[in-house]
Amino acid sequence: MAGLEPTALLNPNYGWETVRKLEVGLNLGFIKDRILLELDSYRNRSSNQLVNYALPTITGFNGITANLPAVVQNSGLEIELNTVNIRGKQFTWTSSFNLTVPHNLLLAYPNIASSPYANTYVVGKPLSIIEALHYTGVDPATGVYTFQDVNHNGSDLDIPGDLQALKKIAKAYYGGLMNHFSYQGFGLDIFFQFIKQTGYNYLTGFPTPGTMANQSTIVLSRWQHPGNQTNVEAYTQGGGTGITFINYLYAQIYGDNRISDASFIRLKNIYLSYTVPLGNAAKIEMMKIFLQGQNLLTITHYLGMDPENNGSNLLPPLKILTGGLQINF
């Protein structure tokens, strides 16, 4: 006998989102366009966002398509600078630099306190804030994660009472720098990428000790004896009884020690090529030898696998060395 199952709640009142954009740009050229500068400042305000509005499951569903009364502002500055540094008969060097500085802000949300986002967003702050328990270190006496007891009731694990929006997951600025050199037949391109941001670090996906999973070497420095000063909680087999297990779980889901600096500078691409000079009588039109390296160097303080895709156990982008010979007939 066939059955029918409801798939969604009805909302007859939803409509389109609106975005109001404001942009100012300036293009400048100096020294016969040897220096080209582009400046761009933008401010977008979006409202009436059409989202899957979160509902508690006592309603039978976990969301409904609805419009939010929120006003979100995305603004920023973009800079692009192209320069021809040296233009000689044999040797040229050009550079290209770009930088973006984004800002995000929740401008308004009437009645946020009675909406499902009461404990997620704060009006006047970016959407990227994370409401978290503020980490105050591993207790040297007991080896347990401790957090700030905001509401002063003796427990530091109250949700939402002890949550604070002190940290965010956002990019402060990002961009790239490309340098191109050529000398006679040689060409060299060097491209650096940089991002200054915060992100989830290794602690957010920290596998439960004892499960069949690899661990980072930081666990070697975990708390083991009273008096140890460390940032990794004690291992224990008393799962569930002591507060170690519960504190570990809460740290993994709510602790702000799992958010840290994830900035990096990466040598994304370096490309060296040599175009072999051929005589006019040669049957070959062009012959080029090249060597390319991708992701050769990453400079970062990030604790985790990859500062660019942070938190989980994804492999970072691989270092790739390619070499080859290109011949056109």
Q: Where along the sequence are the contacts to other proteins (CB under 8 A)?
A: 1-7, 9-10, 54-62, 64, 113-114, 116, 118-120, 159-160, 208, 211-212, 239-241, 245-246, 249-250, 253
Cβ burial of 234 (10 Å; 0-12, 13-18, 19+) is buried
Specify the residue, 212 or 220, whose C-beta has the smaller distance to other proteins: 212
Nearest residue to 251 via CA among 170, 156, 173: 156
Beta bridge partners of 93: 86, 181
Helices (H), the chain: 243-254
Measured between its terminal Cα atoms, the distance across the chain in Å is 70
Specify the residue, 114 or 280, whose C-beta has the smaller distance to other proteins: 114
Coil/strand/helix, residue 318: coil
Q: How far is the CB of 181 from other proteins (least distance, A)?
A: 55
Specify the residue, 18 or 208, whose C-beta has the smaller distance to other proteins: 208
207, two tokens: 């596998």
Coil/strand/helix, residue 185: coil
* Tokens 């010979």 -> residue: 325
Q: How far is the CB of 235 from other proteins (least distance, A)?
A: 15
Q: How far is the CB of 10 from other proteins (least distance, A)?
A: 7
| Extended strands (E) in 89-185 | 91-108, 129-133, 135-138, 145-147, 163-168, 171-183
Q: How far is the CB of 206 from other proteins (least distance, A)?
A: 12
Q: How far is the CB of 323 from other proteins (least distance, A)?
A: 46
Please tell me the distance from the alpha carbon of residue 141 to that of residue 244, in angstroms, as a whole number: 12
Specify the residue, 205 or 317, whose C-beta has the smaller distance to other proteins: 205
Q: How far is the CB of 115 from other proteins (least distance, A)?
A: 9
Please tell me the distance from the alpha carbon of residue 194 to that of residue 198, in angstroms, as a whole number: 13
Specify the residue, 27 or 237, whose C-beta has the smaller distance to other proteins: 237
Specify the residue, 11 or 221, whose C-beta has the smaller distance to other proteins: 11
